[in-house]
Chain A
Amino acid sequence: MRGRASGLGTLALGMVLGAAGMFAGLAQADRIAPERPDILVALGQRLDVEHRAVDLKVKKGDIAGAIASLESLRAGPWPTPEDASPVAVALRHDAYGRLVRLRLDHPDVDPVSQATLLQMVDEGLGEDPTDPNPFTARLWALRGELYEAEGRDDEALEAYEKALEINSILLERELGGAL
Chain B
Amino acid sequence: MSEKKPGVLDPQWEDELRAGQEAEGAQGSVDAELAVVHLFRHAASPETLEPEALGAIWSEVAEGIEAESGFTPWWRRIFDWRVGVGVTVAAAAAAVLVLATRPQPDPGPAPDAVAQASAADGLSITLQAQFDMLAPEARAVIDAEVDAGRDAVRQKLLGTLERGGTLGGAP
Contacts and interface: CB of A to CB of B under 8 A. Distances in A.
A87 B87 CA distance: 25
Interface residues of B, number: 38
A106 to B, nearest CB: 15
Q: How large is the interface on A (under 10, 10 to 19, 20 to 34, 35 or more residues)?
A: 35 or more
Interface of A: 33-34, 37-38, 40-41, 44-45, 85, 87, 90-91, 101, 133-135, 137-138, 141-142, 144-145, 148, 157, 160-161, 163-165, 167-168, 170-172, 174-175, 178-179
Given A148-B124, A174-B97, A179 B142 contact: no
Interface in B80-95: 81-83, 86-87, 90-91, 93-94
26 contacts: A37-B150, A37-B156, A38-B153, A40-B146, A41-B149, A44-B149, A90-B142, A137-B127, A137-B131, A141-B128, A141-B131, A148-B124, A157-B81, A157-B82, A160-B123, A160-B124, A160-B127, A161-B83, A164-B123, A165-B87, A171-B94, A171-B97, A174-B97, A174-B134, A175-B44, A179-B9
A141 B152 CA distance: 35
Contacts of B8: 179
Contact of A41 (B87, B93, B138, B146): B146
Contacts of B127: 137-138, 141, 144, 160, 163-164, 167
A87 B152 CA distance: 16
